[in-house]
A = this chain, B = another copy of it.
Amino acid sequence: MHSLLDIPEDLAPVHGALADALQRVGERFDNHLASDLLAVNDLVRHIERYRGKMLRPALVVLSGMACSQTPDDPEACITGDLLVLGAVCEMVHMATLVHDDVLDEAAVRRRGQTVNFLHGNETAVILGDLLIAAAYHLCSTLDDPYPSRAIGEVSMTLCAGELLQLANRDNLSLDMETYREILDRKTAALIGVACRLGARSAGAPEARHNAMDTFGRRLGLAFQIQDDLLDLTGDEGVVGKSVRKDLEKGKLTYPIIDHLAKAEPQRRAATLRLLKRAADGDETAPAELVSVLRNDGAIERARLAAESLVNEARALLVPLAESGPKRYLSRMADAVVQRAF
How many copies of the shown chain assemble into the complex? 2
**In this complex, what residue of B is CB-closest to A140?**
B148
Q: Is A130 within 8 A of B145, CB to CB?
A: no
Q: Do B132 and A103 have beta carbons less than 8 Å apart?
A: no
Closest beta carbon of chain B to A101's beta carbon, Å: 10
Q: Which residues of B contact A133 (CB under 8 A)?
A: 132, 152, 155-156, 158-159
A39 pairs with B156, CB closer than 8 A: no
Chain B residues closer than 8 Å to A117, beta-carbon distance: 106
Q: List 5 A-B contacts (CB under 8 A).
A: A40-B164, A103-B122, A123-B166, A132-B132, A138-B152
Residues of A at the B interface (CB closer than 8 Å) are 35, 37, 39-40, 42-43, 95, 99, 102-103, 106-107, 110, 117-118, 121-123, 125-130, 132-134, 136-141, 145, 148-149, 151-153, 155-156, 158-160, 162-164, 166-168
B130 close to A132 (CB less than 8 A): no
Q: CB-CB < 8 A to A140: which residues of B?
A: 140, 145, 148-149, 152
Q: How far is the CB of A174 from chain B (nearest CB, A)?
A: 12
5 shortest interchain CB distances as A-B pairs: A137-B152, A133-B155, A39-B167, A130-B159, A140-B148
Q: Which listed residue (B40, B103, B152, B163) contacts A37, Cβ 8 A?
A: B163
A127 cross-chain contacts in B, Cβ below 8 A = 159, 163
